[in-house]
Structure 1
Amino acid sequence: MYQNIYIDIVFITNFLMDYMLLRLVGKFLHLDGKRLRCVLSAAFGSFVSCLLLCVPFKIIFPAAVLIHGGCAFFMASFAFRLKKGGLLAKTILALYFTAFVVGGIYQALETERTMTVKTFLLFVAGIYGAFYTLGCAAETFRFGRRNIYPVTLKYQGKIQQTYGFFDTGNFLMDPVKKQPVSVIKQELLGSLVSEELVKKLMDIRDKPEGLENTELVSLQPHFLSCRTADGKKGLLLAVVLDEFLIQTPGRVVHVGKPVLAITSEPSALGEEYGILLNSRLLN
């Protein structure tokens, strides 16, 4: 029995499915995946699928698992600029799980022989819309009432993801830069720049000559006067990063050149979040 296979249709079908899966997983895990990177990753995955379809021999199961696993590894790491670690493994597992769910629905439609081009496009749009809405609803339910939102920090090409608490009592402003000031955990900043650099930052008060360090200058360290809840005055060391994004249920808030004050007190922030967001940022 022979069956005609149109390789261009196979490529386009796989490409659209892979792109949709990447965008959905990026939404669910709050990954910073650029559209172009997702497009290139989806094209690579579609190319591999077509290549496996065209080989003149049968690929044994262990080899197929390794090939598909390697393909998923490249797609996830390239699309979201992830290196090895727990987040990359979580992303790959999320890709497989989402593909399993979506693939089952697609197979059911194809079995009924109702899969036309129009039906396929409606299927892709419907699945994407449904999963996207579900993700927004789950995010709202989980964090909205507690004012906790996913946050992405960016500095010199490095990306750090965490959660921020919308602190309605934080009105701290940088008098020089005229920017709202959020508060960040010391260890969280260390994971974005380096622990050694953060240590040098925290020594600036006792060793002001450290400001001449080129790496420190790029962070624009400076001190801010603040008043605690009990009325006491103090100084907070603040730095300036390149950008950070706050993912709320309704929109993504982009903050350019954010000013972040560093705190080393574990009790200052909760365990579920690493940043106290300034109340002016979401108004």
Structure 2
Amino acid sequence: MEYELYIDVFFLENFMMDHLLLLLVGRILKSSATPGRTALGALAGSALFCAAVAAPLPCPVIKFFVFHAGISTAMLRLALRVPWGRQMARALGILYGAGFLLGGILSSLSQYRAFVEVGSLFFALAVGSYYAASGILWLLSLAGRRARCRRTADLYWEGRHLQVPAVIDTGNALTDPVSGEPVSILERTAAEELFGGQLPEGLRFIPYRSVGKKEGVLPAVRLGRLCVSGEGEQWTEGPLVGISDEDLSSDGTYRMLLHPDL
């Protein structure tokens, strides 16, 4: 069986896919590579791939090494300047993972196979697949960051104890304007459980600003102690905790927002 290969179309398609893959890997690795350098790496990878296909390489092991190790490594070195060693191994894993993701999105469009064979539509679908893959990776990254920020908070006040699920809120910059102490935020329902049904006396009020509300004041209480566990345990004596009238999460996955400076 013979196949007719149009090397110019083959080169352009490989250049397009290599460029998109390198852009995805660069985003995951947070590389500072410029778009021009990424394009140069994709150009070199496509040229090397075409040369390897055209070259008579009889041994399948040699072909596998050239295609999946040599060319991929050369692209990563040239485009993203990935150093040798463990970082290169990690980058290769990410490259092939992104390749499977991008290929899976493209294969899901197989019902349009008759149209995808048209060059311009192939490139349009490839770009669309790149943005879809970017969105998926962003959601996975967001979920990973949230998982890493999950904690368990043990609150102590006048002999009472309450344990609540919490998250470290990196966007929380709330502080006491007098002392400058960081202020975490607790749901009112959780606060009432800790304080025995009602808020204690001696509240202080912390001014704040939030999205959708220009300004307001938040009642705050100084607890006895706070233990945050998740990656080890961290104890804080006498922390300030603001009381929110609204639920902090719609599904109850967390009931307290921890200040990042605790």
Q: TM-score, normalised by structure 1?
A: 0.48
Shift of the alpha carbon at 1:45? 0.8
Distance 1:89 1:135, change over 3 A: same
Aligned residues of 1:147 and 1:166 also touching (Cα < 8 A): no
- Look up the match of 2:53: 53
In 2, Cα distance between the equivalents of 1:12 and 1:116?
13
Aligned residues of 1:25 and 1:94 also touching (Cα < 8 A): yes
1:210-221 equivalences in 2 (<5 Å): none
- In the alignment of these two chains, the number of paired residues is 165
Corresponding residue SS for 2:22:
helix
After alignment, is 2-11 or 98-107 more displaced?
Answer: 98-107
Bigger Rg, structure 1 or 2: 2
- Look up the match of 2:100: 100
Distance 1:145 1:2, change over 3 A: closer
What runs of 5+ residues in structure 2 fail to find an aligned partner?
Answer: 151-169, 183-229, 232-259
- Look up the match of 1:17: 17
Shift of the alpha carbon at 1:51? 0.5
Shift of the alpha carbon at 1:167? 6.8
Shift of the alpha carbon at 1:112? 4.2
Shift of the alpha carbon at 1:38? 0.8
In 2, Cα distance between the equivalents of 1:113 and 1:52?
29
1:104-123 equivalences in 2 (<5 Å): 106=106, 109=110, 112-114=113-115, 115-123=117-125
Shift of the alpha carbon at 1:40? 0.8
Higher relative contact order (CA 8 A, sep 6+): 1
Distance 1:85 1:19, change over 3 A: same
- Look up the match of 2:75: 75
- Asked if 1:168 is matched to 2:173, the reply is yes
% of aligned pairs identical?
25
Distance 1:79 1:62, change over 3 A: same
What runs of 5+ residues in structure 1 fail to find an aligned partner?
Answer: 149-164, 171-226, 231-269, 272-276, 279-283
In 2, Cα distance between the equivalents of 1:106 and 1:146?
31
Distance 1:51 1:95, change over 3 A: same
1:126-137 equivalences in 2 (<5 Å): 126-137=128-139
Distance 1:37 1:110, change over 3 A: farther
Shift of the alpha carbon at 1:7? 1.0
Shift of the alpha carbon at 1:28? 2.4
Corresponding residue SS for 1:2:
coil
Shift of the alpha carbon at 1:30? 2.3
Shift of the alpha carbon at 1:84? 1.6
Distance 1:52 1:15, change over 3 A: same
Root mean square deviation, CA, Å: 3.8
Shift of the alpha carbon at 1:134? 1.5
Aligned residues of 1:25 and 1:95 also touching (Cα < 8 A): yes
1:141-220 equivalences in 2 (<5 Å): 141-143=143-145, 168=173
Shift of the alpha carbon at 1:101? 3.7
1:142 is matched by which residue type in structure 2?
G
Distance 1:7 1:37, change over 3 A: same
In 2, Cα distance between the equivalents of 1:123 and 1:111?
10
In 2, Cα distance between the equivalents of 1:102 and 1:137?
15
